[in-house]
Amino acid sequence: MDDGAVPARTSRFHQKRELILDAATELINRHGVRGMTFVDVAETVGLNTTSITYYFKRREHLAAAVLERSLERTEAMIREASAQPTPRARVRALLSANFDLQARVREGGSSAVAILSDIRALSPDLRDSLSHRYVEVFRSLRGFFDSGDDASGRAHAMAAAHVLVQNIFWLPAWLGQYSVGDFPRVEARLMEVFEHGIAADGACWSPEFLEIDEDTLRTGIEGMPDNFMRAATFLINERGYRGASVEQIAAEINVTKGSFYHHLDAKDDLVLECFRRSYGRVSLVQRAAANAGGDHWQQLASSIATLLDVQFFSDFPLLRTTALQALPNELRDDVLERSNRMARRFAGMMIDGISEGTVRAVDPLIASQAVMGAINSAYDLRKWASGLERDAAIAHYGGTLARGLFRQE
């Protein structure tokens, strides 16, 4: 990819360029592609902004170079893992490589991998080639799984690959709760979820779709119509926070910018309300499952299925957690705590299910994060799900959580 820079002719040039990429990676993971600036990068590496332009002529060229490097690192880990002889061995090798990377990042021995979902925030001329490359990376990952020649096998491979890669991307959001010394145990417990799922042997996948009363959810911004949040959620999920402007949100619901600012002081207020509404809906589903009765695996399966239905087929999905990058730190911490509360509620269902024998003896704190990561990212498979029957799409995807990533005949 042409990054708009002069050719690297010396080792000093290369070293400085890598330092710039490292700094930009941290800023992109913290603020998103559109929130990363030359000024912040220059301050981090001790240069002035004019010096940065010697390496990258435009900010978007720098962002694209960061994402391309992250894709290369991801490709390398997948390529190495794919040499293993079985699907389980491939997944285990890839998971181990990512835990090793997170440990090196924590200890300062490696730079982080940028969040690849922000590819969508680039301009089309840079986005298209990186998006194509990401598709090829995902296709390689899908090859980890023995799909067979039948449609069911191909659907399973798609769902399993997506749950795996999105959980790997979700790791940095919750792995900070553990010390590096705990990583081997955490890795082993997460691999158990990937290998065997959450349901106990003999437990059936027969969820009920739960009815929830969203009228009980009240927005914190008085008088703001639901369609503001619905439009903002779709646009942010599709284009990223910075790619969904106030003008675009207003146009989506056929109102003026003045009408938008009549209800809101800033877009951040709307994003925060979208997160609050998303987590409020998850909470309603969890409570509805408890009120519906049945054993605790049934409650968990019904919660998962209902939320997958929202993500795949509703006109108001949950907000992608990648929008967290755009929020100020104090707001981001509040949103993460809300996410962790939802995960702890899933963990509580699992603990009760383990006691009654309907849930496998998993680490509930780790397994609940796997559930949260899989549900939140399911939005990305809406097109895939639309090509299947509703129950089949949800069963294929939910089955990866119930029985594990490896096809159960």
Rounded to two decimals, what is the model's pTM?
0.87
φ, ψ at 386 (rounded to 5°): -65, -20
> What residue ranges in 13-140 does DSSP mark as E strands?
none
- Give CA–CA dist 395/375, Å, rounded: 13
E-strand ranges in 197-265 read none
Encode pLDDT of 188-216 as tens digits: 999 999 999 999 998 989 999 998 877 66
As a whole number of angstroms, the distance between CA 152 and CA 195 comes to: 19
The predicted structure's pLDDT at residue 259: 65
pLDDT score recorded for residue 277 = 83
Q: What local confidence, expressed as pLDDT, does residue 199 receive?
A: 96
Which pLDDT score is estimated for 339? 82
The predicted-structure confidence for 68-110, as pLDDT tens digits, reads as follows 999 999 999 999 999 999 999 999 999 999 999 999 999 998 8
Which residues contact residue 266 at a Cβ distance below 8 angstroms, ignoring those fewer than 6 apart? none
List the chain residues with pLDDT less than 50: 6, 8, 409
Please tell me the distance from the alpha carbon of residue 162 to that of residue 46, in angstroms, as a whole number.
39
DSSP state of 11: H
What contacts 45, CB < 8 A, 6 or more positions away? 16, 19, 20, 23
Q: What is the pLDDT of residue 310?
A: 93
Instruction: Report the interhelical angle of 59-82 vs 38-45 (nearest 10°).
Output: 70
Neighbours of 329 (CB within 10 A): 9
